[in-house]
A and B are shown apart, each in its own frame.
Chain A
Amino acid sequence: MSAALLIDILLWGSVLGVGLIAFRRGPTVFKASLREGAMDFINIVPRIALGVIGSGYIAAIIPQEVITGWLGPDSGWLGVASAVVAGAATPGGPVIGFSIGTVALKSGGGVPQVVAYVVAWALFAFQRVILWEIPFMPARFVWFRCAVSVPFPFVAAAIAMVIGKP
């Protein structure tokens, strides 16, 4: 897939770029940060392994139809609220999240509700929060970040209602 390749090129290009800057600061700085990064990697791998290898099972027992059901043609703010809950509860990666959004759009879900769903999924999808954000970041930050993000799917839905369809 070319998009994945592009991301890899950008990613390793950035590593090379900052690595070069660190190297010019002196080999000690460079080596110290490489060691630090490697240690982070070693510490994080078991947790990522558990998450990535286990997430298939979590996705398998929460059928997509359940999530799509919450996103039905039920419009208005109640629909937005259930879309937000559905976004947070969606298991699996971006393919599942965006596919559910597409299905909801095609099966008559309201556009503000789908926007709320996609934004809520991006902000709180529980699997990403637990698997990626908490292992890498201080837990206190993660909970705080999630708590202050709660209003924003609603804000996005409100903007969508005001400016209309794409």
Chain B
Amino acid sequence: MSEPSPNNPAPAEDAESEPRPGRVRKPIGWSTIIIAVLVAVSAVLVWRRDGTAGVLDILTHDLSLFSGILPRVLAGCLLGALISEILPHEKVSRSLGPKSGLMGLLIGTAFGAILPGGPFTAYPVASALLAVGADFGATIAMVVSWTLIGYGRAVAWEIPIMGTDFTLWRILISLPLPVLAGALGRFVYVRLYPQPIAKDDES
């Protein structure tokens, strides 16, 4: 076992030109089917309760919501694609990969906290990070940080509805949670999906 770090496959420059792995798109998965069924059942229940007018009311409201969200979804997809293209893979896997330690979790947390936008940005970008070499732990820290301490939702919704005091206090309480969630994720992941490399580390 004298070979230099078998866990770091030569970070060749030309790796950038290869097609990006890990971003497979399933056309229609089971989750889509579940939602479709759920929506259909709910729509029928609404129809039985409120009639056609009730169904159309909700439809027009949600259609206008959808048209408002659409440009942001496009922005999120572009952001995710651009970020995964410009981030140097080898640097990402060093600073956010399985070996990145507490620093990786802190970087993930900071990234999630400053990321602009809503779910239409957070998830494409998190997916891009996974694809370019971040591990589950750092990505969990990022997603949890975005949802718990990100300013986007807090400024747009939580402060107006729940008040500044409660929101700031709630964010203060949430501060340690992304790092803890990421650490727990990493801890469990290594044990659930042990890799052959892990053996070398333990000996």
Which residues of A approach B to under 8 Å, CB–CB? 1, 3-4, 6-8, 10-15, 18-19, 21-22, 25, 29, 32-34, 36-41, 43-45, 47-58, 60-61, 94-95, 98-99, 101-102, 105, 115, 118-119, 122-123, 128, 130-139, 141, 144-145, 147-149, 151-152, 155-156, 159-160, 163, 165-166
Contact = CB atoms under 8 A, between A and B. Distances in A.
B173 A61 contact: no
Contact of B162 (A43, A102, A135): A102
Interface of B: 20, 22, 25, 27, 29, 31-32, 34-36, 38-39, 42-43, 45-46, 49-50, 54-55, 58-59, 61-63, 65-66, 69-86, 116-121, 123-124, 126-127, 130, 136, 139-140, 143-144, 147-148, 152-153, 155-158, 160-163, 165-166, 168-170, 173-174, 177, 180-181, 184-185, 188-189
A25 B189 CA distance: 35
Contacts of B118: 7
Contacts of B147: 122-123
B85 A160 contact: no
Nearest to B150: A122
Q: Which of B63, B81, B116, B188 lies at the interface centre, i.e. has the most chain A CB atoms within 10 A of its CB? A: B81
B82 A22 contact: yes
Contact of B85 (A36, A101, A105): A36
Contacts of B82: 15, 18-19, 21-22, 33-34, 37
Given A58-B39, A152-B181, A4 B156 contact: yes
Q: Secondary structure of the B side of the interface? A: helix
14 contacts: A1-B156, A11-B79, A22-B86, A37-B80, A43-B25, A51-B35, A53-B63, A56-B58, A57-B42, A115-B170, A148-B181, A152-B177, A152-B180, A166-B165
A87 B185 CA distance: 21
Given A56-B59, A123-B147, A130 B169 contact: no
A40 B155 contact: no
Contacts of B45: 57, 61
